[in-house]
Amino acid sequence: MAVSIIILAAGQGKRMHSLLPKVMQPLAGKPLLQHVVDTSVRIGADDICVVYGHGGDAVPAAFAGQKLRWALQAEQLGTGHAVQQAMPETPEGNRVMILFGDVPLLRPETLSRLLDSCGADEIAVLTVDMQDPFGYGRIIREGGNVVRNVEEKEATAEERAVTEINSGVMVCPAGRLKGWLDGLDNRNSQGEYYLTDIISLAVADSCMVHGVKADSWVEVMGINDKKQLAEAERALQARLVDELMTQGVGFADPARVDIRGSLNCGKDVYIDVNAVFEGEVSLGDNVRIESNNLIRDSQIGSSTIVHSNCHIEGAKTGDDCEIGPFSRLRPGAELADNVKVGNFVEIKKSTIASGSKVNHLTYIGDTDIGKDVNVGAGTITCNYDGANKYRTTIGDNAFIGSGVELVAPVDVGAGATIGAGSTISKFAPADALTLERAKQVTVPGWKRPKKKS
Ligand code: UD1
Ligand code: CA
């Protein structure tokens, strides 16, 4: 039977003390709400509707292009009222699963288990046992079945002692849900339409309500403030690193790595402390990432080593390369196999063919470098005249001396040698020495200036 997922995301999140709506707060590099949407897509939901309100159109705008339905809840009158906003366009015959935009760590497996736990015209609520259930709705059972939920503020002392809490996640038949929602009132301590009150309405309607327990409270944790956001971040990182270790990736310290996106690893990859991976990153077999590296949207070839303190973004390396320490690869840096890039070297929108080395203090921008080229220390490709950018090409086997400026557009032929300290602005022919330097002079009798007394 088709499943509609309704994600409640209209709340403000006052306790975040942020200009960003709560569901837009980033967790592992993407908004809280995106995690819930991605999980919904992964369980194969047929229809996903987000109830939004606080933050206005900024929330739907941030999700433009994703297959989502949006329902505005202009005033936040409670979780029951929020679900009601999504119902007019929800097909009567569907099952509805309700999720919260600020409960991002639910696993698809748990949601599938919840769906499988009840019949098409029954209700299932996801619960969990909590040592300190303060603040949550308590699940009241009779003869093992769930009969109602009572919110903290309405609970008696006896009910408060119940440790099984309501996660807020539930599954119900859409047609019957509409009727129960119409039956809600707001006569409670918060003056809100509580979604949770549909449980007792359903029971009165002879509808079976199943309580399904999640394995850990971490999955159902709601994010209300920056402390809980940080706690959720650590929990999610631990989960991601655990998966990678199970696949055979080695970490110096599983607690000191951050993955904000997807990290694909080959065999025998080793990652030292404080590596941050953002966007889509892939590491080939036997790659070694040393400490303090940021790698974003990049591919690192097999057996390549990235020494400490590199910043790599939108770049690709071949196999057996050596990068860093202190290298910066910018978007469009493409290295073939066996390339070496050393300390304080920046490479942008450039290709470097196999066996070439750029080892020290160099800027390579908008350049194509051939095979087995040696670029000397302090070389700069002058690719920008203040208005436009131009390319530099360097042929195979060229040798660029130290401190050379290559003023683009300019070509250096294969096998050419450029003398140290030259400013090259015209073609440098293949297999010849080209240099551009003023004659060295020595001034006889010259004295250093003296300090005035
Ligand atoms: C809710 C449940 C409680 C459960 C807890 C789990 C109710 C009445 N209570 O309480 O049983 O233990 O979640 O975290 O449902 N929202 C809207 N519009 C509204 C009100 C809320 O979109 O008018 C959204 C919020 O943005 C939030 C979610 O619904 O994402 C939950 O609302 P919140 O007010 O935090 O409910 P709780 O009091 O935590
Ligand atoms: Ca809450």
Q: What is the mean pLDDT of the chain?
A: 97
| 79 Cβ below 6 A of ligand 1 | yes
**What single-letter amino acid sits at 151?**
E
Burial class (CB in 10 A: 0-12, 13-18, 19+), 276: middle
Cβ neighbours, 10 Å, residue 74? 10
Q: Who surrounds ion ligand 2 at CB < 5 A? A: 222
CA of 224 to the centre of ligand 2 (A): 6
pLDDT at 36 over 90: yes
Ligand nearest to the CA of 151: 1
Residue 1 has a pLDDT of 86
Residue 341 has a pLDDT of 98
Atom of ligand 1 nearest to the CA of 82: 18
Residue 46 has a pLDDT of 94
233 CB contacts (<8 Å, ≥6 apart)? 27, 28
Q: Give the pLDDT band (50/70/90) at residue 351.
A: very high
Domains and CATH numbers, the chain: 3-220 (3.90.550.10), 240-434 (2.160.10.10)
CA of 58 to the centre of ligand 2 (A): 21
pLDDT in tens, 401-452: 999 999 999 999 999 999 999 999 999 999 999 999 999 999 999 999 999 9
pLDDT at 55 over 90: no
| 277 Cβ below 6 A of ligand 1 | no
Two tokens at 56? Answer: 């206005």
Residue 31 has a pLDDT of 97
| 80 Cβ below 6 A of ligand 1 | no
Residue 337 CA to its chain's centroid (Å): 29
Q: Give the pLDDT band (50/70/90) at residue 12.
A: confident
Residue 16 has a pLDDT of 95
CA distances 349 to 336, 368, 386, 403, Å, are 14, 9, 18, 21
Ligand nearest to the CA of 228: 2
**What single-letter amino acid sits at 296?**
R
What CA–CA distance (Å, rounded) separates 163 from 138?
Answer: 7
CA of 61 to the centre of ligand 1 (A): 23
Q: Which residue has its alpha carbon closest to ligand 1 atom 26?
A: 11
Two tokens at 268? Answer: 């025998």
284 CB contacts (<8 Å, ≥6 apart)? 266, 299, 300, 301, 302, 303, 304, 319
Q: Which residue has its alpha carbon closest to ligand 1 atom 25?
A: 11
pLDDT at 242 over 90: yes
DSSP 344-386: EEEEESEEE-TT-EEEEEEEEESEEE-TT-EEPTT-EEE-B-S
Two tokens at 285? Answer: 């077999």
What CA–CA distance (Å, rounded) separates 182 from 206?
Answer: 17
CA of 245 to the centre of ligand 2 (A): 33
pLDDT in tens, 137-147: 999 999 989 99
Residue 254 has a pLDDT of 97
Backbone angles phi, psi at 128, to 5 degrees: -160, 150
| 127 Cβ below 6 A of ligand 1 | no
Q: Give the pLDDT band (50/70/90) at residue 103.
A: very high
191 three-state secondary structure = coil
What CA–CA distance (Å, rounded) separates 279 from 260?
Answer: 6
Name the residues annotated as catalytic.
Answer: 360
Whether the Cβ atoms of residue 393 and residue 409 lie closer than 8 Å to each other: no
CA of 204 to the centre of ligand 1 (A): 23
pLDDT in tens, 160-213: 999 999 999 999 999 999 999 999 999 999 999 999 999 999 999 999 999 999
C-alpha dihedral (257, 259, 264, 265), degrees to nearest 10? 0
pLDDT in tens, 300-329: 999 999 999 999 999 999 999 999 999 999
Ligand nearest to the CA of 51: 1
Q: What is the largest CA-CA distance in the chain?
A: 110
Backbone angles phi, psi at 81, to 5 degrees: -65, -35
Atom of ligand 1 nearest to the CA of 12: 26
